Amino acid sequence: MKFKIYRYNPETDKKPYMQEFDLDIPEGSDKMLLDVLVDLKEKDPTLSFRRSCREGVCGSDGLNINGKNGLACITSLSSLKSPVVIRPLPGLPVIRDLVVDMAQFYKQYEKIKPYLIADTETPAKERLQSPEDREKLDGLYECILCACCSTACPSFWWNPDKFVGPSGLLQAYRFLIDSRDTRTEERLADLDDAYSVFRCRGIMNCVDVCPKGLNPTKAIGHIRSMLLKSGV
Amino acid sequence: MVTTVTSLGRSGLHDWVLQRLSAVIMLAYVVYLGYFFATTPEITFTAWQGLFASTFMKVFSLLTLLSVVIHAWIGLWIVSTDYMPKVSIRVAFQAIVIVICLSLVVWGIQILWSL
């Protein structure tokens, strides 16, 4: 099987280039793409990429695989066409090879205050929530911040400093809808500008690529409805 | 919260609502005109002038023109903030769009009430 991998070392390379590898994959075996990258790194130790849990939980190995963002560790080779073209996540500055600078992504995440703010008295044990209210967080809390969605979003490519992006907005809604959070109005007010939420044009690239099967577009729709309800 | 000075509404929600509302008005106008064309056997100057003689049609047309202008201002503002990273070009483009939009309204009023 053929692999074309994006290579760039700013210390030695003037320009990024694609390096080709040919790897014998035994018939009947179905490796994950991350295993292949690990094999290739043994051949060429200068190849750089991020990985950690190797089971789709940590969100470290988000890559652009054959033009679509995804996690290398849960992408099986049988689902890919040869040659497999592997590039870093689009829209973020490349540090080296497949490693990107995620600062802009985390900055947007930080902006939405991704933590519970409750002005009520601190209970002795824990803040209680009914099973129905807890259910509202399903499909939101599972986000692993791999950045596959935000880096697949043209609105985030053009305005990464102003548009929160699908991942951040999914998290924003997770705290807006949390029955224990008391800062709903304040959170909404922070989002009511021309960019933060409204730069989403609903093209749903985020839904298409999310390795956890989440739906940021739906969450953004809910935020719009909440803004509308509080604004009219 | 990101601040913007050349957008039509000052909030994202304001722009979003205006764009949807103006789209509905434009659609209604197209449907109304379509009905006129479909039910008028021969489009003569008299028939055309008769259509625009009523105050209803003048107001409806002006409302549609306002919707076109609002829709275009918001839409082109968004396009320019996405695809024109250079501030000088962006500001010039936005200024031209705003001037054209405002001129169209004044010109439209003059045309409609001179019919």
Give the span between the Cα atoms of A161 and A64, in whole angstroms: 22
Is the model's pLDDT at A82 over the cut of 90? no
Helix (H) or strand (E) holding A205: helix A205-209
> How many angstroms separate the CA of residue A158 from the nearest CA in chain B?
6
- Can you give the residue ranges of every domain in chain A? 2-100, 103-231
Q: Which residue has the tokens 């902006």?
A: A111
Burial (CB < 10 A; 0-12, 13-18, 19+), residue A227, is: buried
Give the span between the Cα atoms of A70 and A68, in whole angstroms: 6
Per-residue model confidence as pLDDT tens for chain B (115 residues): 677 777 787 788 999 999 999 999 999 999 999 999 999 989 999 999 999 999 999 999 999 999 999 999 999 999 999 999 999 999 999 999 999 999 999 999 999 988 6
Please indicate whether, in this complex, the C-beta atoms of B12 and A197 are within 8 angstroms of each other: yes
Of A155, A158, A194, the CB nearest to B12: A194
Mean of the per-residue pLDDT values for chain A?
95
pLDDT in tens, B72-102: 999 999 999 999 999 999 999 999 999 999 9
> How many angstroms separate the CA of residue B108 from the nearest CA in chain A?
29
The residues, ordered by sequence, that sit 6+ positions from B26 with a Cβ below 8 Å of its Cβ are B64, B67, B68, B71
Please indicate whether, in this complex, the C-beta atoms of A192 and B81 are within 8 angstroms of each other: no
- Can you give the residue ranges of every domain in chain B? 12-114
Q: What pLDDT is stored for residue B7 in this prediction?
A: 79
Tell which CATH architecture fits domain A103-231: Orthogonal Bundle (1.10)
Give the span between the Cα atoms of A69 and B61, in whole angstroms: 47
For domain B12-114, give the fold.
3 helical TM bundles of succinate and fumarate reductases (1.20.1300)
Give the span between the Cα atoms of A195 and A153, in whole angstroms: 14
Task: Confirm if A6 and A86 have CB atoms less than 8 A apart.
Answer: yes
Give the span between the Cα atoms of A19 and B75, in whole angstroms: 42
Was domain A2-100 assigned CATH 3.10.20.30?
yes
pLDDT in tens, A113-155: 999 999 989 999 999 999 999 999 999 999 999 999 999 999 9
- Chain B positions touching A196 (Cβ under 8 A) are 1-2, 12
The residues, ordered by sequence, that sit 6+ positions from A223 with a Cβ below 8 Å of its Cβ are A169, A172, A173, A176, A188, A191, A197
Q: What pLDDT is stored for residue B114 in this prediction?
A: 86
Which residue numbers of A have CB closer than 8 Å to B's CBs?
Answer: 154-155, 158-159, 162, 189-199, 224, 227-228, 231
Percent of chain B past pLDDT 70, that is, above it, reads 97
Q: Reduced to 3 states, what is the DSSP secondary structure of residue B88?
A: helix
Q: What pLDDT is stored for residue B1 in this prediction?
A: 64
Cα Rg, chain A, nearest whole Å: 20
Task: Confirm if A220 and A197 have CB atoms less than 8 A apart.
Answer: yes
